[in-house]
Amino acid sequence: MAIGTSIFLIAAGAILRFAVQDSINDIDLSVVGLILMIVGGIGLLIGIWMTTRYTDRTGPAVRDDRYVDRY
């Protein structure tokens, strides 16, 4: 789950939780909104962790000093 998708789930969940005052055939939309916000928060934490985990800031920069003759 990408960071953008997680933020979308949090926003959609907040809309369902706080802005919608209706229910659909015994489905409480505020509970669905809460579940979406929880899943989005977990996805956001995992996405940030995966991004920082695979970013190597300690190694040297790789230089490519090849000369390419185009003619």
Ranges of each domain in the chain: 3-53
Instruction: Specify which residues 23 forms β-bridges with.
Output: 28
pLDDT tens per residue across span 3-32: 999 999 999 999 999 998 877 888 889 999
45: how many CB neighbours lie within 10 A of its CB? Answer: 11
Tokens standing for residue 68: 């390419």
Q: What is the distance between the alpha carbons of residues 38 and 42, in angstroms, rounded to a whole number? A: 6
pLDDT interval class at 43 (50, 70, 90): very high
pLDDT of the residue at 56: 62
Mean pLDDT of 33-37: 96
Asked whether residue 38 carries a pLDDT value surpassing 70, the answer given is yes
Cα torsion angle, 38, 44, 47, 49, sign: negative
